[in-house]
Amino acid sequence: MDARFLRNVLLKSLTLFLVFDFLVAFLPAGIGKVSLYNSLFEGRLRFPFGEDSARSYNLSLFDLDAMFAAHIINSAPKPADEYRVILIGDSSTWGTLLRPDETLSGQLDSAGLTACDGRTVRVYNLGYPTVSLTKDLMVLDYALRYDPDLILWPLTLESFPLDKQLSSPIVANNAARVDDLITRYSLSLDPADPDLVRPGFWGLTLIGQRRALADLIRLQLYGVLWSATGIDQTYPADYTRAQTDFDTDITYHGQTGPTLDENQLSFDIFDAVLSAAGDIPVILVNEPILISAGENSHLRYNFLYPRWAYDDWRQMMQSMAAARGWNYLDLWNLIPAEQFTNSAIHVTPAAETFVVEQVKLSIQEQICP
Amino acid sequence: MTLVYILAFIAIAGLLGFVTHDRWRVNLLLAVSALAVYALQPALPVRGLDYYLPTITLALAALTWVLTTPRETRSWKANWPAAALLGGIVLALALTRYLGFSLPLTASRPPQTLVVLAILAVAVVLGLLVTRFTSPGKTALTLAFIFVLLFFVFLKVPALSLQLSLFLRTLNEQSLATASPLDVRWLGFSYVAFRLLHTIRDRQSGRLPPVSLAEYVVYIIFFPALSAGPIDRIERFVSDLRRPLQRTSEDWGEAGKRLVIGLFKKFALADTLAIIALNGTNALQVNTTGWAWVILYAYAFQLYLDFSGYTDIAIGIGRLLGFKLPENFNAPYLKPNLTQFWNNWHMTLTQWFRAYFFNPVTRALRSGKKPLSIPVIILITQIGTMVLIGLWHGVTLNFVIWGLCHGIGLFVHNRWSERTKARFAALSPNWQKTLNVGGALLTFHFVILTWVFFALPEPSVSFHFFQTLFGGA
C-alpha cells in the first residue's frame, strides 16, 4: 500500500460520494412509498407519530407517502365486500393515550357494523395529532385514492384559526403539497408564508435529506417492534391532567369577542375538505370538550377555549349545518370533565365508548337509511 | 464514546503522530490521555463526582506505578515532568470553573479549587510517603491488588454502588431519595482496573519491565482504548511506545481501513440494530415467537458490531499513533465450537483471565497433595473463569447464570472433543467441513441463547423471554 494508492482511494471515494450526493437531488420524490410495512411488517393501525421512539416504537416524520405506506389502509386494494370508512382529524381521532383498539376508529371497527348490501364496515384511523384544517385537507386529499365509502371527520374550533393552518410541522414540511392544494381549491393561504419550509438545491441532496432518510429507515426498523409488540405509543401511568383552573384571560387567537371574526377562521379550507370529499358522504362530529368547573370556568370552558369564542363557533357550525344539510353530530358536552385525560379534547377509553355509541347510530343511518 | 469525540481523537492522533521526539511524544500522549479520562466521563448526579472519578483514576495509576516500580528505577529526576504534568492537568481543569463558558473537557463544572488543591496535596504527600518508605514488596502489592479489587467490587455490585452513592450524597448534602447505583458510573474503570491488576501481578511474579511514570500512566489510560479496550500487555505496549515513530503509507492505509470499518460497524450497523435489539423492556412486550428470535438475533449482532467496531476504532487510532494494539475479535460467530468462540471473542479479556486465573488455578489444583482428576480440574477452572468473566460485567444473578452456562458449555465441549477428536480426524474433508458448519450453527445459537441472560436484568425476565422464544408465552 503506497501513498499514491491511498491518495487515489481518497480521491475516488470523495468523487463517488459527491456524485451520489448530487444525484439524489435529481431523484423524483416518492421514496417514502417504498416500505416494509404491509409485507414484512403488519401495517400500522394509525399514522406514525411519537417523540419517545425508544419506548413507543414510533416516530414523527413528514413524508406523507411513508406515513400512508406504513398504514394498514395500504395493505391491499379495497375488497369488494368492504364498506370503507375513514376517519380524519386531530389527536383525539389518532388516540392520544389510547391503545389502537380503544380509539374511536378501533372501537367502531370492532363494532361489527354491516352495510345494508352485506358489506362489512371497516374503519381506518387517519387522524394525525396536530390541529389544522389544512392538515386534514392534505390527509383526505391523499386518502381519496384508497376509495373510501364514508368519511368521518371529528373536529374542533382549534383547527380553524388562520394561524394554525401552516404551523403544524407536517404541513410546514410539505410545501409542495400545500401549493397544490392552494391551486386546486383556491385556498386563501399564502404560498410565501415563512412557516412553509422550502428546501433549496442543497436541501435536496443526500446531505440535505439525511434527517428525512434516517427517519424513513427508523420507521422501517420500528416496524419490527410494532409487529412484535403491537405498541405504538407510551402509556404513562402518571401524566399531567388537563387544566381546570384558569386566569381571567379570555382572548382567543388575538380576538376578545364577544363574537368571532369569521375572516380569522379558515372556513374556506373547511369547505375545501367537503368539496374534496365530492360525492362521498361526510359525517361531521363536533368533538367533546372538557367543560371545567374550576376557577374562572365561567369565563373559559377549558385551556383551549374561552366560552364566548367556543359558543359563537358552535352557533356558526349549527347554523351552517342546518342551512347546508350536513350530517352533523354536536357532541361537545357529551363527556363529563373527569373523563378527560391530558388535554381538553383527549378522553379515556370508557368515554370514547360514549362517543362510539353516538357515532355508530349516525353511521348506521348513513349506510342503511 | 460519541462520534464527535472519536473524530476529535482521530484528528489528535493524526497530529500527534507527527511528533517524533521521544520525550515529547510520551508526554503529549500522557496529556491527551489524561484529558480524555475527564472528557469521556459522563455527567453524574452526585456533585463533583464526574470530576473526582477521573482524578482518582489518575491518582490510582500514579500510585500503582510507585508501588510496582523498584525504588532504584523510580527516580524523581526522570519522572517529575510526568508528575507535574498530571498535577497540572488536574489543577488546570479545576480552574476552568472560573471560565465564563463550559469546556467539553469535564462533564460538569469542576468542584471548588480549594478542595481540589487539598486533594492534590494529599495525593502528593501520599505519593511521597509511598515513594520514600515502600518498595514493591509482597505485602504492599497484595494490599494494592485487594484495594483495586475492592474498588471494582464496589462499582459492580449494585447494592454497594447504591450505598456509595448514599454516602456521597450525604457528604454533599444532596437528596437521598433519588440515589441510584448508576450515580457512580466510572467510565473505563473496568479496563483500567484490569491493567492495574495485570501490572501488580506481573510485579509480584517479577515479570514487569521497568517503565517510567509517564509510560505507565499512558499504558493505563491510553485514550483510544480507555472506554472499550483492548486490554494490552504492558511490555508489548511499551515496546511500541519506545520504538521510534515512523508512519508509513502502510500505517495510514491500515489505520484508515480500520477506522472506516469501525465507524461503519458502530454507528451505521450497531446503532441501527440497537433500535430493535432485545432489552429489558421489549423482552416483556414481545408476543410472538418469530419476532422474539428476530430481536435476539438483532441483539447478538448489535453486541458484536458495537464492541468490535469500537475495537477497530481503537486499533485504527492506535495505528495513527504508532501502536499495534492487539486484536479483540476474529469472526467469533463463525467458529465451530465454544472453545474457539472464546478464543476469538473479546480475546484480550479471555487472555487476561487465562493468564491470571485459569492457568494459576489449574496449576494449583494439579500440584496439590491430592491432585484432582483432569475432568474435575477442567470443570472447576472453566466454570470459575466464566463466572468471573460474568461478574466482571456486573455482579448480578443473570451474569452468574451466563457465566455458568458458558463454563459448563466449555467443559462439555472439552470432554466431547477429547472423545471424538480421533474419529473427527479420520473423517473425509467434506464431512469435516459439514460438521464444522453444523458446529458453527450450534455454537452460534448456544451463544445467542445465553445472551438472553447477558442482556436482561433479572432471571425472571430472561425465563419469560425464553418462554416466548420457544412458543410457551
Find the closest chain A residue to B251 by CA distance.
A1
Query: Tens of pLDDT along A334-368?
Result: 999 999 999 999 999 999 999 999 999 999 998 88
pTM, whole model, 2 decimals? 0.90
Q: Which of B98 and B296 is assigned the larger pLDDT? A: B296
Angle made by CA atoms B35, B38, B42, in degrees to the nearest 5: 145
Look at residue B136 in the predicted model and tell me its pLDDT.
Answer: 63
Distances, alpha carbon B470 to alpha carbons A70, B439, B464, in Å? 29, 21, 10
Query: Tens of pLDDT along B219-275?
Result: 999 999 998 889 999 999 999 999 888 888 888 999 999 999 999 999 999 999 999
Query: Tens of pLDDT along B56-77?
Result: 999 999 999 988 988 777 788 8
Is pLDDT at B465 greater than 80 in this prediction?
Answer: yes
Query: Tens of pLDDT along B340-358?
Result: 999 999 999 999 999 999 9
Interface test with B, best of A11, A40, A221, A229 (most B CBs within 10 A): A229
Residues of A in contact with B281 (CB under 8 A): 55
Instruction: List the catalytic residue out of B393, B406, B413, B464.
Output: B393
A113-120: which pairs have CB atoms within 8 A and are 24 or more residues apart? A113/A83, A113/A360, A113/A363, A113/A364, A113/A367, A114/A83, A115/A83, A115/A149, A115/A367, A115/A368, A116/A367, A116/A368, A118/A81, A119/A80, A119/A81, A119/A82, A119/A83, A120/A81, A120/A82, A120/A83
Query: Tens of pLDDT along B390-430?
Result: 999 988 999 999 999 999 999 999 999 999 988 888 889 99
* Whether A225 and B276 lie within 8 Å, measured CB to CB: yes
Q: Which three cell numbers stand for residue B373?
A: 482428576
Residues of A in contact with B292 (CB under 8 A): 228
B276 touches chain A (CB under 8 A): yes
Is pLDDT at B135 greater than 70 in this prediction?
Answer: no
Find the closest chain B residue to A215 by CA distance.
B272
Look at residue A1 in the predicted model and tell me its pLDDT.
Answer: 65
Query: Tens of pLDDT along B138-179?
Result: 888 898 899 999 988 888 888 899 999 999 999 988 889 889
The single-letter code of the amino acid at A40 is L
Averaged over successive runs of 10 residues, the pLDDT of chain A (369 residues) comes to: 83 93 85 93 96 92 96 95 96 96 96 92 96 97 96 96 94 95 94 92 89 93 96 91 93 92 94 95 96 94 96 96 94 95 95 95 88
* Whether A55 and B281 lie within 8 Å, measured CB to CB: yes
End-to-end CA distance of chain A: 81
Look at residue B120 in the predicted model and tell me its pLDDT.
Answer: 86
ipTM of the complex: 0.87
Look at residue B304 in the predicted model and tell me its pLDDT.
Answer: 98
* Whether A229 and B287 lie within 8 Å, measured CB to CB: yes
H helical segments located in B69-112: 76-95
Find the closest chain B residue to A229 by CA distance.
B286
- Across the range B80-92, mean pLDDT stands at 92
* Whether B254 and A1 lie within 8 Å, measured CB to CB: yes
B250 touches chain A (CB under 8 A): yes
Look at residue B134 in the predicted model and tell me its pLDDT.
Answer: 65
A10-24, B116-130, B434-448: range with lowest mean pLDDT: B116-130
* Whether A229 and B282 lie within 8 Å, measured CB to CB: yes
Residues of A in contact with B298 (CB under 8 A): 224
Q: Is B413 a catalytic residue?
A: no
A307 touches chain B (CB under 8 A): no
Is pLDDT at B13 greater than 80 in this prediction?
Answer: yes
The single-letter code of the amino acid at B214 is A
Answer whether B80's CB lies under 8 Å from B214's CB.
no
